[in-house]
Amino acid sequence: MHARALAVEGAFEFTPKVFPDDRGSFVSPHQHHAFVEAVGRPLFQVTQTNVSISRRGVLRGVHYTLTPPGTAKYTCCVRGKAIDIVVDIRVGSPTYGRWDSSVLNGVSYRSLYLPVGVGHAFVALEDETMMTYLLSEPYEPDHELAVDPLDPALGLPIPADIEPIMSQRDLAAPTLAEAAAAGLLPDYATCREIESGLSLPAG
């Protein structure tokens, strides 16, 4: 498992080794020891897993969770192909306003770890793209917020040959500056405090 720190503080990319044979292949997208070595603590206790299936051009995000409670995510693409994007929207963060991305697909099984408070988006590059998510907190609709993924100030890596297909909620989302002015963004220190407590019990 190869780990790479992303440009957003606290976010990591993980690339596992895939073992193919004449039956198919085997892969472990999450590995405890590799995660601990990179992040410095165990993965959070998983409270919910989600799966989304998207056709080419679907753009989901930039989504984030009201903090507190805040939510950390571990994402993986198990079919198709997507650009997975993490955006630092934590006010006071040393990397506030920055983003990083990784191409995830059902061949490499690369994954991203998104710490508490950051924004998450992805754009599907193929039909039937299946993304999986491990979550540190259960989904609560009233806690879910969004920032406009097409905000020019962010300049997210949306391919020029894709006409984004977005939900009404995402189309109506404020820009990063508007969300900041309205006091809607997570506080970095609060996010880090919550993040420090997200460890599985020893053993």
For residue range 105-122, list pLDDT tens digits in order. Answer: 999 999 999 999 999 999
Catalytic site residue 30? no
Q: Answer yes or no: are the C-beta atoms of 120 and 87 closer than 8 Å.
A: yes
Helix (H) or strand (E) holding 188: helix 188-196
Determine which one of 74, 109, 113, 133 is catalytic.
133
Q: Answer yes or no: are the C-beta atoms of 25 and 17 closer than 8 Å.
A: no
Mean pLDDT for 119-135 is 98
Pairing of strands 24-27, 99-105: unpaired
Beta bridge partners of 103: 83
Beta bridge partners of 58: 165
For residue range 33-72, list pLDDT tens digits in order. Answer: 999 999 999 999 999 999 999 999 999 999 999 999 999 9
Quick one: tokens of 126?
Answer: 């193929």
pTM score, whole prediction: 0.94
Quick one: tokens of 32?
Answer: 């405890």
Determine which one of 63, 64, 113, 120 is catalytic.
63
Domains of the chain, earliest start first: 2-15+29-196 (2.60.120.10)
Catalytic site residue 109? no
